[in-house]
Amino acid sequence: MFTNNRGCDLIKKKTGIIKPEGEIVKERLFITPEYTTAKEIKKIRKELHLTQKEFAEFINCSKPTVERWERSEDVIRGPIVPFLKMLQKYPEYEQEVKVPEKVWPLRIWYMYDQDVCTLIDVNERERKVKIKNYTDKIMFRAFGVMEEPDYNQYIEFLESRCFPESRDKMKLILKDLGLPFYDPIMIIEKTEGRMAEDDFWIRIER
């Protein structure tokens, strides 16, 4: 059978390839699946030992969305598809970003913009501190390379996110903040530990 080379060239388009039937199929840049299914979503969620509510928070969507996916008889498309594939390959990611159970009264979130850098749990009565880092960047961690800071080092960290106690007109500054005396944790509750020279800040959870 005679084949016209020009005709073969014409069936290729810049946006894709035309099948003999005339259907245009886009040329793919990645092998990411085009869709997933209810069965696959439920399987991965259960492998991670997460409830629908926990899974929804993990992937940053609503619980009704997860419920709808898991009831769906149709294929499911969107960002969830490649994310599920990444979870299959790196299931440890869920544990890396998981927040530990709060067992002490005070929890401090050391943040950079919206990213959590270090989680600090504090037992003030017993002067105990334990931390969990969520970044590999040493300069972004609350205590740098230190993995087990003591209570005094924790106090030093708090003071580093406040104006110094020896600052001029200290009484006027405290009055403006509505504070009776200098206390780092109370100051941070008012200022979020924000400094003019960087984008770090602190959220206090009691």
Report the alpha-carbon distance of residue 6 to residue 140 in Å, rounded.
Answer: 59
Residues 22/13, Cβ–Cβ less than 8 Å: no
pLDDT band at 10 (very low <50, low <70, confident <90, very high): very low
Q: What is the pTM of this model?
A: 0.80
Return the higher-pLDDT residue of 14 and 63. Answer: 63
Report the alpha-carbon distance of residue 128 to residue 111 in Å, rounded.
Answer: 21
What order of strands is seen across the sheet that includes strand 115-123?
A: 128-133, 115-123, 106-112, 200-205
Concatenated DSSP letters of 38-99: HHHHHHHHHHTT--HHHHHHHTTS-HHHHHHHHH-SS-B-STHHHHHHHHHH-TTHHHHSPP
- Closest Cα to residue 178, out of 189, 192, 167? 189
Q: What is the reported pLDDT for 5? A: 53
Residue type at 171 in one-letter notation: K
pLDDT tens string 39-73: 999 999 999 999 999 999 999 999 999 999 999 99
Is pLDDT at 18 greater than 60 in this prediction? no
Calculate the CA 90 to chain-centre distance.
Answer: 15
